[in-house]
Structure 1
Amino acid sequence: MRLFVFFPTVGRIVLLYKNLFSRQIYHNPLSSPCPPSEGDKGGGRGTCLWLRLSMIVCVSFLICIGCHKAQQNISTQEAIKAQYVGRETCKPCHENIYAQYTGSDHDLAMDFATDATALGDFNNASFNHLGITSKFYKRDGRYFVFTEGEGGAFQEFAIAYTFGVRPLQQYLVEFPKGRLQTLPLCWDTRPKEQGGQRWFHIYGNERIPPDDMLYWTKISQNWNYMCAECHSTNLKKNYDVASGRYNTTWSEIDVSCEACHGPGSRHVEWAEAEANGKDTQGYTDMGLSIRLKNDEDEEVTWIFDKKLATYKPSAPRRRHKEVEMCARCHSRRGVISEDYVHGKPLLDTHYPHVLEENLYYPDGQIRDEVYEYGSFLQSKMYQSGIVCTDCHDPHTTRRRKEGNELCYSCHQPEKYGSHEHHFHKLDSAGSQCVECHMPARTYMVVDPRRDHSFRVPRPDLSKKLGVPNACNDCHADKSTAWAAEHFAKWYGQPKSGMHYGEIFRDASRCTPGTDADLVHLVEDNQQSSMVRATAILQLRNYPNESSLKTLGKMLQDSNPLIRSAAVASLDVLPPKDRVHFLLPVLQDSVRLVRTLAARSIAAVPSDVLSNEAWQQSEVAIKEYEETQLLNADYPATLINLGNLYLERGEFDRAAATYKKAIEIEPAFVPGYINLADVCRLQNRDEEGRVILQNALEIAPESAPAHHAMGLLMIRAGNHKSALHHLRKAALLAPENAQYHYVYGIALNSLEMSGQAISVLKRALTRNPYDRDLLVSLATIHRDRGEFEKALRYAVGLCKNYPDNKNYQQLEQQLRALAARQGDKPGGKN
């Protein structure tokens, strides 16, 4: 995954706001907690779902039933008053639900390590992974592992907690200052006949050395940061920046009733008042923080569409709050505030990722571990009003029905279960709805997750975009052309027009003309918000009058996901030009939208703003800073904070923040690059050189570090060393057009124009529409007197960017020069 956008002109790493929030790690709830006594269910157990650099774990929804009708929306004031009371308080009135919940994935989300909860083989078992042998055993009723620890030293670790239960279980180890780290050694809880009942390493056959950021004792595997929020109830990370200590707390160790229904004290008061015949008029929604089964649902009717042979709910937007509540954990997202209020917009406290490259395939299929929300929002199911609990029982965390029977609840089996629909043998894999419409990808070695976009297979897109398709997932021995041919034979050709995946692919390549397709996507209200938000972010590659007009309109959209994407895209404008767009957004009701706007305006010189506007921006910037400090245990967040201070001229504060990022994670190269850039701005390049040299000693294959060093060497006049580092950066990151452009320009400035042309042409094959590459090739050939060759690149520029007057002038100049040269004897080159 790309963690940053690199701007080589200043040598600074700029981390994307959303990527800062995309991590979630294991985190220590209580300092040295004691296991519960036998039979004491003070907490649940747990499952850790974590990924290479980003992990966000899942929590679903518990839906209260058996309650009477009431009003719908709880006020924020009531939500603040409500306190967490624990599941045992809920049990007397909800015994059936309590029984269903017991033993569910939510109930088993995390627990103290005991004989009842630890499922792995701790009977003096050994496990060898790439030459590293670990041993698992018990002593005095406690669980231990002897394995490689910090710095590669072998030592004994006591296991404090279990984390998860199906299809694997992970284990948490306590470290100083209240942090919990996740062992990379997991227990496969599947039956032995399915390949389970064994120890395995979370990275499969990949060796993660002790100095790697992904090593299990590092921040990337810290429970407090990565996983904690979604595996316990009412969890507060409580990280203290000054001391570097976690004082993490929870109300219940696992995902209990109030994780989904919110703090229950007001509901308990209502129930007691109701039972005693007292007046309950003052309790909105029976005192519930969020009412997940409400009057709107009870008014919904299921309408049968004869043409589609499918039942649909009459209300397309029913229970939107439920979907967002589930998305709090069932999404690839980050946290911007711990002040979560059930029923408030998700983006008030979280930042969900859109269909970004390397997270999703261009057509929106899942790629990295992204969970369900981003996929589900793309689906026609969501657009039609289907919600999570239509298919999943929130208390047992199981599907409501098994196999095709679940789909047949809405889709008529006579049509969709017939051979004429799926063209496969009955009871074969190809006749199962999910195999075609919810293909799975496996994460964490043994955990298959299904794509929730419920898409129709498109093998034709596999040919165009290089994306997977459900047909070839099963028929791996066949070509995509074979699959596309059979699909067309059975179902006809796909609908005419470009799929949004084709548009996103073209936009990622900066293909000229794609801005019109993007604008059409953005303004098409029939498209899902996830697709529209992705298109908005892609528009930043096309900063023209039409795209800016569209972005301005999207700042007024009712959906905060759309508004936040528009704010982020307006960063392409110079700071002064952002002001009139973003000043009104500082008053947005949703935290993510207004803090993104504040961060963008922070780069605007104060003399550009009126006194009132300056005061508004300062309040919002302070709120943005608070969102960052929440995750100041992660170095990427500190980079964001340091960049904020740097743009505001607070050099010492910026430098201290970058140093803190390096202290937390010495292998985090952006910290070194940005710290060196502070030195550059203060004319202390020799100190910057030492800093970058340290980065290269730690990460000798870091393209950004080599690039930054190359720029520094140019400033120092050490051309030989500069070319070495710039060349190394280009070789290490062949897809990065900017690195090649800078290397080519450096070669040309040192009168090595032939080599410069070779470098730039190679880069152009990967980036055929890159303006910098085309302009530099045109001008270098011109300066060499090769006017015909230069003209070819100028013609390409004008063809791709017909509205650019500078390119038109360049073409005219070269045509005149080529004509004049052609008139001379032997003038053609």
Structure 2
Amino acid sequence: MNHAVKKYAAIGLVSLLGFSAPSYASTGAEPANQAQNLTPEQQLAYTAQNKNESVEKRADALRQLARYPNQNSLVAVARGLKESDPLLREAAVIGSELYQFEHRWRMISPLLNDENLTVRMTATTNLLREYSVMTAEQQQKMEAPYNEVVAYLSTQLEGQKNTASQLLLADVYRWHKEWIKADELYQPLTRSAAKNSQVWLNLSDNYRAQNQDAQALEVLNKGLVQLPKEASLYYSKALTQVRLNQKESAAQAIKVAATLAENNSYYWYLNGVLQEDIDVDLATESFEKAYMISGSPEQLYAVCDIYVRYNNEKADACLVELAKVAPEYVITQLKEKQK
């Protein structure tokens, strides 16, 4: 996607870090109609901050906000991270999952020293997955929390079969670039938990992180034997084949992924990207479907972009719609592509 649009999409998030946006916090009885006419994600943000709700219900709302990384969600998550109840702090960490690492580090790193073990572990695993892009100072700050998580999970595995703990410990080793230790835990899981798609996805990521894409593809193909209708495996396969310069095969794989996960807008968007050199009409339809599912400005941009570049009769109408949500310079850049 065009860097200008990526920059545009990030503008709001950067400004949010002052947490000056409108919120739905409630410290007492709120008007009966205050929660009416809210979108599902606004309702979740409202519930997450409503102190009249139970801690459990607020925590559930915070976790669900991970699906809706927007202004109201960010305010709710930021406040949740500062709540006195550890269940709410842990849930807020989970709710922050889709925000960019630089913002998550700023919000979550103070919880690496939280008094509650579960909160510390959740914060550690949330941030550790970005270990490879951390500064040396950030990596150093992660060492003590990392060792604590490894010790805890290792204890969980002593004398028992615990698939969840074994998979998480393998992931922790992978994030920390300890590839061999990770592989030693993943490999047995391909036999004992062969129907768990995360086993195959994460093992392939362990190879990808070492630039061993051929081995990663082999793992994904084995996973698809076990789970032939798992869209995420086809998606990961497509990305792996792109890295291996197998573009036509990648296009086939992402088409299957999008068809299986018919409401996943990103899969349809990526299908548009990979199909363009093969079938422009199919690519256009995929971008349109992605936008119809998500309604996001970024995917509307993708629709307008392909309309403009291939002189689609709907290009001008698309630009009019995009101008309602995008900066003027983005529209100008697209118009310059018109033939």
TM-score when scaled to structure 2? 0.76
The structure with the largest strand share of the pair is 1
1:754 paired residue number: 281
Distance of 1:527 and 1:812 partners within structure 2: 48
Distance of aligned partners of 1:634 and 1:783 in 2 relative to their CA distance in 1, 3 Å threshold: farther
Tell me if structure 1 keeps the 8 A contact 2:150–2:169. Answer: no
CA contact (8 A) 1:594 1:620 kept: no
Q: Is the 8 A contact 1:537 1:568 kept in 2?
A: yes
Shift in Å at residue 745 of structure 1? 0.9
Give the distance between the partners of 1:631 and 1:570, measured in 2 at CA. Answer: 34
CA distance in 2, matches of 1:639, 1:680: 17
Q: C-alpha offsets along residues 331-371 of structure 1, whole Å, 9 cap, x if unaligned?
A: xxxxxxxxxxxxxxxxxxxxxxxxxxxxxxxxxxxxxxxxx
SS of alignment partner, residue 97 of structure 2: helix
Identity of aligned residues (%): 22
User: CA separation of 1:572/1:759 partners in 2, compared to 1, >3 Å: closer, same or farther?
Assistant: closer
CA offsets 1:532-555 (integer angstroms, 9 cap, x no match): 223323433454566444433322
Specify the code of the residue in structure 1 equivalent to 2:281.
G
- After superposition, the C-alpha distances for 1:562-613 in whole angstroms (9 at most, x for unaligned) are 11111222333333443343333233332211211121232343613386x4
> Secondary structure in 2 aligned to 1:583?
helix
Residue 506 of structure 1: which of 40, 55, 68 is its match?
Answer: 40
Bigger-Rg structure (1/2): 1
Q: Which residue of 1 aligns with 2:329?
A: 809
Q: TM-score, normalised by structure 1?
A: 0.33
Higher RCO (CA-CA < 8 Å; seq separation 6+): 1
1:716 aligns with 2:244: yes
Contact 2:166/2:185, CA 8 A, preserved across alignment? yes
Instruction: Find the aligned partners of 2:105 and 2:336 in 1 and give their Cα distance.
Output: 43
SS of alignment partner, residue 295 of structure 2: coil
Q: Separation in 2 of the partners of 1:620 and 1:700? A: 37
Shift of 1:788: 0.7
Residue among 87, 96, 108 paired with 1:582: 108
- Distance of 1:744 and 1:712 partners within structure 2: 17
Structure 1 counterpart of 2:219: 691
How far is the alpha carbon of 1:791 from its aligned partner?
0.8
Matched, 1:566 2:92: yes
Give the equivalent residue in structure 1 for 2:54: 528
Residues 812 and 536 (structure 1 numbering): CA distance in 2 closer, same or farther, change over 3 Å?
farther
Name the residue aligned to 1:163.
none
The letter of the residue matching 1:810 is V
Structure 2 matches for 1:664-703, cutoff 5 A? Answer: 664-703=192-231
Alignment of 1:734-813 (within 5 A): 734-748=262-276, 750-765=277-292, 767-786=293-312, 787-795=315-323, 798=325, 807-813=327-333
CA RMSD, Structure 1 to Structure 2 (Å): 3.2
Q: Given the superposition, is the C-alpha separation of residues 577 and 620 from structure 1 closer, same or farther in structure 2, using an over 3 Å criterion?
A: farther
| Compared CA separation, residues 760 and 583, structure 1 to 2 (3 A) | closer
Distance 1:735 1:619, change over 3 A: same
Q: Give the aligned residue type for 1:811.
A: I
Q: Conserved in 2, the CA contact under 8 Å of 1:777 and 1:793? A: no
- Relative to structure 1, the CA distance from residue 584 to residue 620 in structure 2 (aligned partners, 3 Å threshold; closer, same or farther) is farther
CA contact (8 A) 1:638 1:660 kept: no
Match of 1:608 among 129, 137, 149: 137
Residue pair 2:220, 2:237 contacting (<8 A) in 1 also: yes
Cα shift at 1:519: 3.9
For residues 319 and 197 of structure 2, the distance between their equivalents in structure 1, rounded to whole angstroms, comes to: 41
What SS does the corresponding residue of 1:552 show, helix, strand or coil?
helix
Quick one: structure 1 residues 635 and 606, their matched pair in 2 at CA, closer, same or farther if it must change by over 3 Å? farther
Distance (whole Å) between structure 2 residues aligned to residue 651 and residue 566 of structure 1: 30
Ranges in structure 2 where 5+ consecutive residues have no aligned partner: 1-31
1:554 maps onto 2:80 in alignment: yes
